[in-house]
Structure 1
C-alpha cells in the first residue's frame, strides 16, 4: 500500500490498495480499523468526511481482515457525511477489520451499467445486540486508514470535505466578503462544487500562488472561487509578470479558459460565468511562457472580478527555470499543458484537400471537382450539374443536370398574391481556392426584403443564410423553397422517414423534432444527386448514437412554424418537385425570419477502386506477424486494447502505441487508431478542468452509470460507453465545442509523435469543419491519413430514425472507406438500400460489410467484403485471393446501375456487376429473389472486349462460397436464395 496523505487529528491516512478486493460487490472504498481490546463488541468512530450525499442510505459491510469473512453482528449508531459510529463483533479478537461503506452492484447492460448502491441491511442477532449498552459503551477501536481500490478512485485530497463547522468558521472569519479565492496547483484539480475541500481549511484563504514553469511551457493553475453570495459575470484580469531584473512575461500570454477562448470554428468566444451562492467555481488559468524567457522569478497579479462587488487580488509568483519544455509541455499532459489546445486554430485555413481542385469562378458559374453551381441574381441556384460518369471513376464531357429549373423562394400572401421578387444584383464577397462567398438582396414589392448570403466550398458543400425581413405587417399564407430535381437525378431518396430506396412518386413529411432527427433528405442517382437540410439561426447539432432523445433538434422557427411546416414531394414527366413549405403566419414589421439551408452536391469525387482492392483492414489488436500473414495491409486498433485503452483518449499509453506502430511500419503495415468525438473517457487528465466549463464540453443529464462517475463527477452528465474489463467509463460530449480544437491538436500530435496512419471513427459527433481540420493534420508531410467511418444503424427510436449515410454525408468527402452495417439487415434490404445506405458508391466512396459478416455475394456487387477478423461467420481471404488472382487492381468496375454494364442477368431479381480487364472479366451475380431461382446472362461482347468465339465462362473454386463449374453463354445458372456467383469470362487463344 502507498500512503498518499494524512488528515484528521487521529492521523487517519488515505491510502491505495491496488485491486486488493472485488469492488463490484464491496465498493471502491473501505476503512481499516484496528481492535486491540477484549470482548465481543468493538465501537469505532470514523471521521471520513464523505462527499456523497445521503450516506445513511448506503450499506455498511464489515469483514475481518485475515479471512475476509463478512461479520453479521454489526450495528450502525450514527452515519452522516462527516462521520459515522459503528459497532461490530470482532470475531477474531484483536487485530484488523475492514469497513466497506459504499458497496454497489452493476445492473443493466454490461457496457451501459447502472451502478446501484446497496441499501442498509439488518443482520445482527438479537442476543448480540442485547449484550452491550450503547450509552455506556466507549470507543475501543481505531480507524487507521481510508483505503481506495486504487489511486484513480481515491478521494484524497480534493474530495475530502470540510465539516459544516469548519466551513462556518472560515466564512465567519471573512464576513462581509462576496467571494473567497483559493489558488490551487494544477496537480490537484478542483472537483467539488458544493463542499470546500478540507485541504483548503488547512491552507486557509489564499492571496498568493507560487509555481515553477519551464521555458516554452503552457503553465496551468487554478483559482477556486467560493461564492458567499450569488456572483454574476465573473472575470479574471492578469497583469504582466516582471522579474527583479526588469524582464517581463506579458499578460497577453495569459488566459482563463472559463471566461474566454476560441471556438471550434475559429471565432472568438466570451463566456459569462455566474456562480450561485455557496458554490465553488474552478477558474483554470494559463501562462504560455515564451521560450525565450530569461530564467528567474516573475511576479504579478491575477484579479478576480464579478459584477457589483469588490475585486479580489491574488499575487502570482512564477519561477522560470533554464530548462526548455519539449513541444511546449504537450508531452506531459498530466500537467494540464494541453488545456492550451482548447483554443487552437490549427488547420482552420480552408486550403484545398486532395483530391479536390481549387474553385474557379466564371460569371455566375462556380466550377469545382466534377461539378458546377450556377447562380441566379438572387443568389439561389439556377442550376447544378455533375460530370461524373455512371461508372464513377472518371468525368464525362457532357454535364448531367441535377436541377431541371432554378430553385425559388416563393411567398404567397393571405390574398394569394404571389408577386415576383425584384433582385438588386449578385455580388461576390470572397473568392479563394477553397471558398467562394456571395450575397444578394431582393424585394417583394414594398412588403418584404430577402437578403441571401451563400457560400460554396471546394468539396461541394453550399451553405445559405436567407433572411426575410418584413418591411410592413404581413399576413402570409406560405413561404416555400422549391427545389426542382431533374428526373434522371432523382432515382433514389434517403431521409424524411424513408430508408435508402427508390424514390416514391409522392412524399408528405412533417417536422417531429422531439423524436425524429430529420431536417432534410438526399435525392439523387449514382452520378448526380443533392442533399438538402433546412435550418435557422438557432440550429444546434443534436446528440446522436443512442442519445438523440436527450438533446434533439430544435424546431426551426422559420421552417417549422409551430408545426405548420413540412416537405411535400411530387413529380411530373420532367421534374421531381420538392416543396419545402412553412405555412401561414403573421409577420410583424421589422421581424426577420431565417430560412437557412445547406446543400451537399454529390458525388464528391471519383471512386478509387484500386485503394479498395489493395487496402485490407484487420480490425483487431493482434500480433503483427499474424496480421501480416493474413494478407491484411492496415491494422485498426480499437479502444480497450493495451496500446489504446481509454475511449477517445489515446494519449496515456502512447509509448506502447508508438513501439507497435514502428514495428508495423517495418513489416510494411499501416496502423490506424480508434479516436472520435462523442464521448470521452473518465481517464482523461483534463476531466475536471472540462467539468469546470459547465455544459460546454459535457452534456447535461441525469447522471448515474458506473460507480466512479457517481462518486467523482456526482451528477448532471450523461453516462456513456463502459468497458468492464478495465473500468473505463465515458461521459457524453455536448456537441460543437472547444474540445474539437483539442481533438484536432491531439490528432496532429499523434501523427507527428506516434506515427499513426489514420483514424477509425465510430460514429461522429462533430461537423465538417472539424473533419476538414483532422484530414489536414492527418495527411501532413505525406502521411496517408486514412479515415474509415463505422456507423450502427441510426434508424431507430434512440437515434431519431435517421439514416446513417444521410446523417454523416457532410463527412463523406474526407473518408477513405465506410463500414456501415452494425444492426443492418443484409438479407431483407433491397439493392437500392445497399447502394445508397451501405456502399458509398453514389458519393465516390466504397465500403465494407459488418453485421454477421455480411453477404459475400451481394457485397461483391458493390465491391465489398467483410473485415478480418470481426466475424466468425465470414473470412474475406478467399475473396482477397480471387482479387489477386484475377487482378482487381487496375480493373474497371462497371455496376448494374450503369447503362454501360456489359453483362446483366435475364432475371430482374438478380443483379450483375462487371470488373473488366483486357480480354478478361470478373462478373459478380447476386440474387434478391425470395426463393431459389435461376437466370441467364445477357452479354454485350463488344462492350466486354472479348471475342465470344474464344470465350470461356467458369466459376472458379472459392473456399466457402462456390465450387468450380463451367457454363456456356446461353446457360441457365441456378442461383440459391440470397446467394449468387462469381464468374470469370476470359478469352483463350
Structure 2
C-alpha cells in the first residue's frame, strides 16, 4: 500500500536525490529481516556499489545494528557488505552487486525474537565488524555513490515511520534555532491525523512546516474535534497551562470556552473527582498537548475563531489562533464511530454510570434507627460510628434467604489506643454519629470521638452490595506517646470457620495467625474470614493507597506500606481465639504523635455472601470459550460464546473496536440461533493497535506504567522506552502495554463498553484478571445491563498466590468485584488434585459469596468439581469435555433442584468417610448425589441417608450410577452397599 509520498534532499551525496516512503503488504519475513528496508538501484557497470541512504532514524546508535543487503531478484543475501559510515541521519554503504545492475534491498533494523512466544524479546542483530572480510579490506570504495535510493519501505502501514518519526537533521535543527533566537519554547500545532510520537526528536515534517501560532480545522456539528499542540522546550518548562477563550463567528455565534478541553492538564477521574495534572517539559524535549473542541449539536454552521494560550510558569504566554469551520452536517454519535479521528478522547473524562443506582438483584438500602438493611444482611451502627453488629440471613444451603439471623461479631468493632506511660486504654468520648447522605444505593455517615490529646474523625459509608468504607482520621491535639494502636474485629466462631489471606490459602482457619507487613514482596493487606452463609473481608489502608499491579507484575508496582498500620516494621495482624471470639487484632506498635500529626487508619469491610446462589443459571448457561462456527457451537449444547482476543473478529487485546463490524455480524447471527455472545475486554493491558496509543503516551505515566521497555520490535521502534511490554499474539503481531492502574482510561473503558452494547450487541464480557476496582465494575455492570441487555460477566483468574503476583489469593484480590459477576473461572495454576475440599470451597467454587464456578487447569477434576456444581469449560481441555456431565444434568432435570452441599450440617445424605464428602441436588421424588474422594488411597463408603428429609420411600428407592463417558461406568447399588471410590475420583448417583 502506497503512502502519500514526500521528497527531500539528503546530505553527503554527490548529487541530491529524492526519496519517497512507502509501505508493503508484509512482502518479506520481518522476524529475520526487520520491518524496514531501503529499495536501491545499482546503476554502475561494475561493482562495488555505493549508496547513501537518508533514512533519518529515531533509534539510538544505529551504527551498532546490522545491515543486511539482499538481491531483489533472487532474494539471496549479499555476503559482501561494508558500512562506510552509519549514523541516525544516513547510512553510507558499499556492497557487492552480485547480479549487476538492478534492484537491491537494504534492511537496516533486523532483529530476532527471543523468550516466550507470548512475551517475546526483540533483540536487534549486532553490526558486523566493518572491513573485517578480505573483500572489505581490498575494495576500492567508489568516490561517489553509484546507486540510488528508490524508496524507503516499511513492511506495512502500521510499521511505517512516516511522517511523524522521520527525524530532522542536526543541520535543520541548527537553522531552526537560528530563526528563533531567544525563544524559550516553540509551538507546532498538529492535525489529529498525525499523532505526535517522538519526545526527543523533531519530525522533519515540522521543519518543513515551521512553528506556528495558528491552527485551522473542520468539524461537523456535534463532533468532538481533537487537535494537538506540539511544545518543543528550548529551556525547561514548568507548570504548563493551556487556556481557551470562546470561539466566535463574524456574526457573533459562539462555541463557549467551556466546550474546549485539554486532556493533559484537566479532566475527571475514574471515580468522578476533578482531575488536574502538572505538565513539565524538560529542556530539549517535546510534549504533545491534546486538545478537544466539543462542538454543540446545535452549533450554527460557519467559521469560528478564537485563541488557545500556552503558558509555562515564569515564561511568556504564547497565543495560538484557532479557526474551526463547522459544517452543516451533523456528526453521527459525536464522531465516536470514527475513532481514528481521536473523537473518543472525550471518553477519558466521562462520568457515565457514576450514579449510585441499585443494580439487580440487589435491593435499596433501608434504615431504621441505627440499623441499615440490605439484601440478606443488616448492619448496626455503634455510637462511635463503627459497626455494632453485622448479621446475615442466608440459609446454609445458600439458595435462599431466611428469617434466622447469623451474627458476625461478638461485640462492636472498636479501636484500642494504649498509653505508653501506664499501658492503659485511653477512654473515648463518643458524640454520636450523623447521616451525611442517604441514597437508595449508598448511605454515608460521620462521627467524631475524642480522648485525652486525640481526636478521631470517622467518615463511613455502606453500599447496597455490602461494601463498607471507613476513613478514620486521628489527629494529635497535643503530644501523645502510645504503646500501641489496634483495631479489633471480634468474630463469632460460627462466622470464622474458614479463612483466606495473610499468607493463608483458602481453607479452614488455622488456630493462630501472626502476620507482619511485607509490601515489597506480598500483595497482602487483609483477609476474609467466614462461613458459607456469613463472612467478612477486611483490608487495611491509609490515605496514600494506590492499587498495585497484578498478574505477574506486582513486584514492579507493589503496595505502599500504610504509614498508620505499618508504622515502619512495627505493625501486623494476629488472628486467634480470645474468649468467645475469634479476634482479628490489627496492631501498629508504639509511636509518638506530636501536636498536629495526623494518621489515617482506613479500612474496608465487605460483607459476604452477596446474594443467594442462582443454581438454575449454572445448569442452563453453558459457556463455549472459543471463536468458532456458530453451528458447531450450537451443536455442543453450549448457550453462550466467549470470544477471546486474537481472532478475526476480536484481534486486538482489550481494544475490540477495529473489527467491530465483523463482530456485529457474528453476534447478530448468534442471536438468530438463540446463542449469546460475550467478548474478552479488560484494561490490565492495551493493544498497541489502539488508535489512542500516542495520545495516551502524552499523558506520561497516567495510563501506561513506567518500565524498562523492550518486548516486540514494534514497541521498541515506535514507543521507544519507558513502558512494560505485556501479552503478545504472534498471529496478529498484537503487542500490548501494561496499564498503570487506576486512571482515566477506565472512563474510556466504560464508554467503550456502552458503545459495544448499543452498537455491536454484545451480551456481556469475559474478564481475564482485572486491573480496576469496584467503582469501574459497578459502572460496567450498569452499562452492560442497560435497556434490558443481559450483561453477563464471568471472571477468570490465574492463581495469584505466587512470587510474581505477591502471594495474594485470587478470591481476596477480586472479592470487591464478586457482587457483579455471574460466574468464576479459577483458573490457571489452580491445583485441583492436591488441595483440600475447603480450598475448593473457599478459593475456587465461589459458593460462600453467592457464586458458582468452573475449572480450567488441565481440565480440572470432574468428580471433585461436581461436589460444587462445577465442570470444565468447552472446548478448553481435550481431557475434560463437560458434555457428558451436561447430559446427566439434562437427563436428571437439574432445573429447579435444591443444592445441599456437604458443608450443610443437615444434609440428608452423608458418607461414613469424611474424606469422601457428598453434595446432593434434590427435587421431588429424586436426588442426584455427587461423591468425590480426597482420600490418599482407593476406598469405600457407605451412604447415611435421611429418607424422610429426602421425601423418598426407601422401600421403593433405587440407587443407580448412570453411565457417563470418561467419568463412570453404569451401575446399580444396594441402599446399604459399600461403594468403591477410586483415589481422586467419585460418583454421580441417582436415587428415585
CA contact (8 A) 2:727 2:736 kept: yes
CA contact (8 A) 2:654 2:685 kept: yes
Partners of 1:123 and 1:334 lie apart in 2 by 44
Of 20, 37, 40, which residue of structure 2 is paired with 1:33? 40
Partners of 2:472 and 2:137 lie apart in 1 by 81
Matches within 5 A, 1:310-349: 310-349=316-355
2:769 aligned partner = 763
1:700 aligned partner = 706
Partners of 1:204 and 1:562 lie apart in 2 by 55
Of 66, 90, 93, which residue of structure 2 is paired with 1:86? 93
How far off is 1:967 after superposition? Answer: 0.7
Partners of 2:559 and 2:136 lie apart in 1 by 59
Matches within 5 A, 1:709-748: 709-748=715-754
How far off is 1:127 after superposition? Answer: 4.2
Of 44, 55, 63, which residue of structure 2 is paired with 1:48? 55
How far off is 1:294 after superposition? Answer: 1.1
Matches within 5 A, 1:346-495: 346-415=352-421, 416-445=423-452, 447-495=453-501
Q: Does 1:976 align with 2:982?
A: yes
Q: Does 1:679 align with 2:723?
A: no
Partners of 1:451 and 1:138 lie apart in 2 by 81
Partners of 2:574 and 2:222 lie apart in 1 by 59
Partners of 2:408 and 2:5 lie apart in 1 by 70
* 1:657-695 Cα deviation digits (max 9, x unpaired): 000000000000000000001000000000000000000
Q: Does 1:156 align with 2:162?
A: yes
Count of paired positions = 984
2:14 aligned partner = none
Partners of 1:386 and 1:268 lie apart in 2 by 37
CA contact (8 A) 2:83 2:130 kept: no
Partners of 2:447 and 2:207 lie apart in 1 by 63
How far off is 1:750 after superposition? Answer: 0.2
* 1:152-183 Cα deviation digits (max 9, x unpaired): 00000000000112112112211111111000
Question: SS of the residue aligned with 2:827?
Answer: strand
Partners of 1:73 and 1:188 lie apart in 2 by 39
How far off is 1:572 after superposition? Answer: 3.9
Matches within 5 A, 1:497-646: 497-572=503-578, 574-646=580-652
CA contact (8 A) 1:8 1:47 kept: no
Of 21, 26, 30, which residue of structure 2 is paired with 1:23? 30
TM-score (norm 1): 0.99
Matches within 5 A, 1:766-781: 766-781=772-787
How far off is 1:621 after superposition? Answer: 0.3
* 1:606-664 Cα deviation digits (max 9, x unpaired): 11000000000000000000000100000000000110000000000000000000000
How far off is 1:40 after superposition? Answer: 2.1
2:20 aligned partner = 13
CA contact (8 A) 2:131 2:137 kept: no
2:12 aligned partner = none
CA contact (8 A) 1:73 1:124 kept: no
Partners of 2:132 and 2:482 lie apart in 1 by 79
Matches within 5 A, 1:835-874: 835-874=841-880
- Comparing 585-594 and 5-14, the one that deviates more: 5-14
1:809 aligned partner = 815
Q: Does 1:70 align with 2:81?
A: no
How far off is 1:246 after superposition? Answer: 1.9
TM-score (norm 2): 0.98
Question: SS of the residue aligned with 1:7?
Answer: coil
How far off is 1:963 after superposition? Answer: 1.4
Question: SS of the residue aligned with 1:580?
Answer: strand
Question: SS of the residue aligned with 1:910?
Answer: coil
CA contact (8 A) 1:72 1:123 kept: no
> Can you give the 5+ residue segments of structure 1 that lack an aligned partner in the other structure?
none
Of 216, 235, 240, which residue of structure 1 is paired with 2:246? 240
1:307 aligned partner = 313
How far off is 1:3 after superposition? Answer: 3.7
- Comparing 243-252 and 365-374, the one that deviates more: 243-252
* 1:198-230 Cα deviation digits (max 9, x unpaired): 000000111111111011000000000111101
CA RMSD of aligned residues (A): 0.9
- Comparing 621-630 and 173-182, the one that deviates more: 173-182
How far off is 1:4 after superposition? Answer: 2.9
How far off is 1:297 after superposition? Answer: 1.1
* 1:415-471 Cα deviation digits (max 9, x unpaired): 2121221111111111111000011111112x1111111100000000000011111
Partners of 1:131 and 1:437 lie apart in 2 by 85
How far off is 1:123 after superposition? Answer: 8.5
- Comparing 755-764 and 67-76, the one that deviates more: 67-76
- Comparing 155-164 and 246-255, the one that deviates more: 246-255
Partners of 2:44 and 2:170 lie apart in 1 by 33
Partners of 1:568 and 1:616 lie apart in 2 by 42
How far off is 1:7 after superposition? Answer: 3.0
* 1:531-562 Cα deviation digits (max 9, x unpaired): 00000000000000000000000000000001
* 1:458-501 Cα deviation digits (max 9, x unpaired): 00000000011111111111000011000000011100010001
Question: SS of the residue aligned with 1:808?
Answer: helix
Partners of 2:91 and 2:972 lie apart in 1 by 84
How far off is 1:808 after superposition? Answer: 0.2
Change over 3 Å in CA distance of 1:2–1:855 after alignment to 2: same
2:127 aligned partner = 120
2:899 aligned partner = 893
> Can you give the 5+ residue segments of structure 2 that lack an aligned partner in the other structure?
10-16
